[in-house]
Each structure stands twice: as C-alpha cells, then as structure tokens.
C-alpha cells in the first residue's frame, strides 16, 4: 500500500513533469506567443482563448509556475508526513492529500 507521503510525492512529480513540458511548449510553440498578453501571462491567455468561459479561467490559473509551487507544497507536506505520519490527518492534511489523490487519479471521479 502506498503511504500518504508517497502519494504526495507522486502528485508533486506529476505536476513538475507537466509543468516542465508545458513551459517548453510555451517557449517553442508560437500558439502561445501572444501580442496582447505579457510573456508571463501567455499560458493563462492561451488557455482562456482555447477554452473560454469559467473553464478557461480556471484552467489558466494552474500555470507551470503555479504547478511548481503546488508541487513544492506537496513535497513539504510529504517531509512533514515522514516525521509525523499522523500530521496528514490533522489541520490542512486531509485537504492537501485529497488534492494530491485527485492529481494522481487524473482528476477523474
């Protein structure tokens, strides 16, 4: 059985892999190179342009930079869980673990 700390590490690595691939795509694929959005907003602008509406806005929030920050938070929680496994069942832990599990499941119900 996979430990909660390992679930967090797996989700962190998934986010990092996708963040790196997306960042590379943003740099090399001219679709993202907007003339009306600053470079730092190319991802959000491109996603909103592709999807539109609330879904586009929501998807645009999880940029490569945001995914890397979330991965860092998951790794921190994993280290804390290694030191105190019960921590992941207390304040903030259940929500963090649920988010990691949704990522590991591909966000499918």
pLDDT for 107 beyond 60: no
Which of 15-19, 68-72, 96-100, 105-109 shows the lowest mean pLDDT across its residues? 105-109
Percent of the chain with pLDDT over 70: 97
Vertex 73 angle, CA 44 and 79, to 5°? 160
Q: Would you list the domain boundaries of the chain?
A: 4-35+62-104
pLDDT band at 108 (very low <50, low <70, confident <90, very high): low
- For 11, 35, 99, the CA distances from 72, given in Å and listed in that order, are 10, 31, 14
């Amino acid at each position: 059985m996979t430990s909660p700390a390992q679930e967090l590490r797996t989700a962190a690595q998934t986010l990092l892999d996708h963040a790196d691939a997306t960042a590379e795509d943003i740099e090399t694929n001219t679709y993202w190179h907007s003339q009306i959005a600053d470079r730092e907003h190319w991802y959000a602008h491109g996603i909103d342009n592709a999807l539109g509406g609330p879904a586009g806005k929501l998807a645009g929030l999880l940029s490569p930079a945001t995914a890397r920050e979330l991965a860092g938070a998951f790794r921190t929680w994993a280290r804390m869980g290694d030191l105190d496994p019960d921590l992941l069942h207390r304040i903030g832990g259940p929500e963090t673990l649920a988010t990691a599990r949704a990522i590991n499941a591909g966000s499918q119900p």
